[in-house]
Structure 1
């Protein structure tokens, strides 16, 4: 079907005359009339008929006008969708996040983002560091919010550091090392409660031991979640090596205490990860920009 001819017929029916349609479309009246005649021949029905000095729709013309109205309304919706999608005001974002940002940062970031971009759908996969980067490289997610170390960047992944947070050794207030300054060897003699293998912080602890030629600590309890591991330490058993962002409030309240290991000062990097050489879609770009803006407002960036 000749959609151009249908559009001319639709404009005639909307304006009520060939003259009005010609003025609106800046096309000559004879050209419009000829196109509509060809459309009628193609469809095998009469769409317009004379009515005094003007025209009116036939019964078939009225039906086809109603259908054309719906058709061109959908066309406008498609055009609007493409505009908004290109601008990043609608669409979807799928992201993977490690446990630290997923539990302590993303809820606030996502809430503020949705206030501005209500029509964007968000899917969040919370997992450990290894799986988050695997999902990114496999194309399962648009980006990853990663709590760990920037050395994990590969030929497939580029990272942008958002800010850094200290890594602390923590124990319960009743623990014999609570608030003490000790050597790393003394600290490593304690049983640890840690996350599962694949956790970035656990890998940092093991790397620290290798760097200082110390045996790996005994992982006495292992949990798949941060909350469970911290609660076990609060209950009075073992030690944890964890981002200060997670336990800062517990230390202030006195339900946890730091252990100061004099020769160790490590930081946890919070970063956004993308596939290298790939520009994020507009919606994902907006989300990353909002994160940057929030961190700048909160003065969390590390020089």
Structure 2
């Protein structure tokens, strides 16, 4: 595979407040005995950090609040090797995700957008030599505008699921979703290329509505699935940019996702891409 292009990640930056519990609460129920973690997260930041740790040159575009959480988040992302020069500081507080994770690694998440809602399309530019990776934790209008302007490859992790306009479906080169999101967005059947993750059942590539490749899952030790899908998205995008065929790209992304579920943070420590490409293994991102 050739070296990947430079990657621009346009997306959310949050502080993750995670309660590790024996089991998730039901409606109206209180569950005690939790252990609290505080980490930098947000799908955009998670994907930018993962891509950087996998070996790409990454530029992050987003926003944080003018608070201690914002400064901490930016420094954490910078320390992972990401260019944060285009991360703005705004008055609303830094975005926050409230997360509960049970002993099996399953989770419940509530996201408070905060500063992420202040990100606008004005001033966002993408170079001819840069690929773009986005998610749907920013305004859909921002995602549409950036995709329309970007001169090169555009990948979109279409999560959280929401109706997608035709112009975006036609413009995006690669969609990345889990099985639930794929079922919720029938418009993706008309997309050029869609990677669908199936948890323990593996992952597939769907080209113009037809499944062309499916790779199996290999069991992984699951601590938390919170950042696995983001690690998968970053790895798959980089593998495809590096020229890998779809089956090899999916295997590599699955290996990265399997490594990610073994860590409680949404920004797990990862090796370089070649580590996973050489020994493509388990697939368990959700």
Q: Report if TM-score (shorter chain) is over 0.5.
A: no
Larger Rg: 1 or 2?
1
With normalisation by structure 2, the TM-score equals 0.23
**Higher RCO structure, 1 or 2 (CA under 8 Å, sep 6+):** 1
Tell me which protein shows more helix as a share of its residues. 1
With normalisation by structure 1, the TM-score equals 0.22
